[in-house]
Amino acid sequence: MATDVLEVIRTKRDGGVLSDEQVRFFIEGYTDGSIADEQAAALLMAIVFRGLDPRELATWTAAMIESGTRLDLSGVGKPTVDKHSTGGVGDKVSLILAPLVAACGAAVPQLSGRGLGHTGGTLDKLEAIPGWRATLSTAEVLHILSTSGAVICAASDDLAPADRKLYALRDVTGTVEAIPLIASSIMSKKIAEGTESLVLDVTVGSGAFLPSLDQARLLAETMVGIGADHGVRTVAVLTDMDAPLGRACGNALEVTESIEVLQGGGPDDVREVTLALAREMVALAGLAVDPAEVLASGAAMEAFDVMIRAQDGDPEAPLPQAEFVRTVPSPAAGFIRRLDAKAVGVAAWRLGAGRARKEDPVSAAAGIVCLAKPGDRVEVGQPLLELHTDDDGRLDAAVAALAEAIELGPEPAEPRPLVIERIG
């Protein structure tokens, strides 16, 4: 085993390839505290500029998985399949997808996160439901999976602890945007979760983590490769996130819209993306069932209620509503050619729906409802966006974030495909 962290840093700084021993030495040392933050930050920055080759990345990911425990889902009694999204604005797909795929006959062990910046977090959304609990013991996760088929919860502290520590450091050192580090962060947690197969929703567009199609494709290919290396059947689907998904952006607002889809209504774009991902998950699980038929039957709605109650939530309780609501009118007549997802996400964040730091609180009621979407024709003065907040002092800053968000024209723009590409 290498014992000199400076040798590891210099090797990567100078464009060399780290040995398996060097990678494991670093991951183990940083996790147990024997390697200092400033030394780890230096290596992370070197990786940003020099990258990791496939063998380095495979060992790096394996070492992160081995830094903690790996769940054993073999006793669940059903094929296990999960989904991960790289995030976006209005992306409430997990809330619909997990119970839908459970209703199709699979077990969905979805370990999710919280929102940061302009993108929302699945746990924040579900916590808008009175009583719902994100933190579960391993025994509870296994019991809920066996009985209800779907669980959405926070990852335990002993699942890939190296990733948790490294991500916190990347967040404050400008080293988040490196494909190998993003891919290993996502996949180490998903592989440690113990699922047999995985569908990745890699979003592309202004509201996505990676707006560039080429970068999103590279991330997808990298993660699919990591999954294959670790025996997890993995497929990636690239989906559009240039405009918000659906109409609701914000925690309780998105729960409401998710329930509308589960009940057979809701926006067409949410339903299309959800069903595309559900078909991939069902196929990986080896189930001969049509998710669209299951959704139409009401079985997914029943599975949602069971999932929420299993985590102490009350699916029939009223959801929080904002004290203050303001509409943003259209400045002119015409077709909406573009509704910038990132601007809408930033505005929702300013209203209180998101957080700047992981420890910040969020408002369950805050957010934005898009009353019109790209392709719609609007008249001058027609309400385009509805802003919800518990603090009216936040409204002006949210409106300012939307100043360049809407592009109008005499003709509608060519619609962008929602499902762009499949990899795997």
**Of 189, 233, 279, 342, which one is the catalytic site residue?**
189
Say if 126 falls within a structural domain: yes
| 204 and 353 together in one domain | no
Average pLDDT of 368-390? 97
Residue 309's pLDDT is what?
97
What 3-state class would DSSP assign to 368? strand
Round to whole Å and give the CA distance between 115 and 313: 20
Q: Is residue 424 part of a domain?
A: no
User: What tens digit of pLDDT does each residue of 267-286 get?
Assistant: 999 999 999 999 999 999 99
Catalytic residue among 185, 188, 330, 363: 185
- Alpha carbons 322 and 368: distance in angstroms, whole number: 11
- What pLDDT, on a 0 to 100 scale, did the predictor assign at position 330? 96
Please indicate, yes or no, if residue 27 is contained in any of the structural domains.
yes
DSSP element (H, E) containing 203: strand 197-204
Catalytic residue (one of 163, 201, 240, 242): 163
Note whether 43 and 108 are same-domain residues: no
> Is the distance from CB of 252 to CB of 364 less than 8 angstroms?
yes
Helix segments in 206-263, DSSP class H: 213-229, 251-262
Q: Which residue has the tokens 């609701």?
A: 248
Does 110 fall in a domain?
yes
Mark whether 306 and 172 lie in a shared domain: yes
Q: State whether 179 and 46 are in the same domain.
A: no
Model confidence band, residue 354 (pLDDT cutoffs 50, 70, 90): confident
Domain limit, last residue, from 310, 336, 367: 310
Q: Do 298 and 357 lie in a common domain?
A: no
- Count of domains in the chain? 3
> Kind and range of the H or E element at 117?
none
| Distant-in-sequence, close-in-space partners of 115: CB < 8 Å, separation ≥ 6 | 121, 124, 353, 354, 355, 362
Residue 74 resides in a domain: no
Does the structure show a pLDDT above 80 at 358?
no
- pLDDT tier at 116 (50, 70, 90 boundaries)? low
Residue 62, pLDDT > 60, answer yes
CA separation for the pair 366, 391 (Å, rounded): 9
Same domain, 369 and 298: no
Task: Assign residue 345 a region (left: φ > 0; alpha: ψ between -120 and 50; beta: otherwise).
Answer: alpha
pLDDT of residue 168: 86
Residue 355 sits in a domain of what CATH number?
3.90.1170.30
The reply to whether 185 belongs to the active site is yes
Q: Is position 154 within any domain?
A: yes
- On the question of pLDDT at 421 being above 60, the answer is yes
Helices and strands (DSSP H and E) totals, the chain = 16, 13
Report, in angstroms and rounded to the nearest whole number, the Rg of the chain calculated over CA atoms: 22
Q: Does 170 participate in catalysis according to the annotation?
A: yes
In a domain, 71, yes or no: no
Q: Are residues 207 and 306 in the same domain?
A: yes
Q: Please tell me the distance from the alpha carbon of residue 346 to that of residue 356, in angstroms, as a whole number.
A: 10
Q: Write out the residue range of the structural domain in which residue 367 sits.
A: 324-409
Active site residue 388: no
Residues 39 and 91 in one domain: no
Active-site annotation holds for 143: no
pLDDT at site 117: 65
| Weakest mean pLDDT among 108-117, 129-138, 411-420 | 108-117
pLDDT in tens, 192-228: 999 999 999 999 999 998 899 999 999 999 999 999 9
Question: CA-CA distance, 423 to 220, in Å (whole number)?
Answer: 7
Domain finish residue from 264, 288, 310: 310
Same domain, 123 and 270: yes
Distance CA 84, CA 389 (A): 29
Considering the domain architecture, whether residues 26 and 102 belong to the same structural domain is answered as: no
- Asked, for residue 319, whether it belongs to a domain, the answer is no
87 and 42 assigned to the same domain: no
Q: Is 346 exposed, middle or buried (0-12, 13-18, 19+ CB in 10 A)?
A: buried
53 is annotated as an active-site residue:
no
Which of 24, 50, 83, 84 is catalytic? The answer is: 84
In CATH, what number is assigned to the domain containing residue 39? Answer: 1.20.970.10
Distance CA 138, CA 73 (A): 10
Rounded distance, CA 161 to CA 40, Å?
Answer: 15
| Nearest alpha carbon to residue 235 among 185, 201, 184 | 201
Residue of 115, 51, 68, 69 lying closest to 89 (CA atoms): 115
CATH number of the CATH domain containing 100: 3.40.1030.10
* 160 and 188 assigned to the same domain: yes
From 24, 114, 170, 190, the catalytic residue: 170
Asked which of 267, 284, 310 is the last residue of a domain, the reply is: 310
Is the pLDDT at 53 greater than 80? The verdict is: yes
> Measured on CA atoms in the order 85, 90, 95, 100, is the torsion positive or negative?
negative
What's the confidence (pLDDT) of residue 171?
Answer: 81
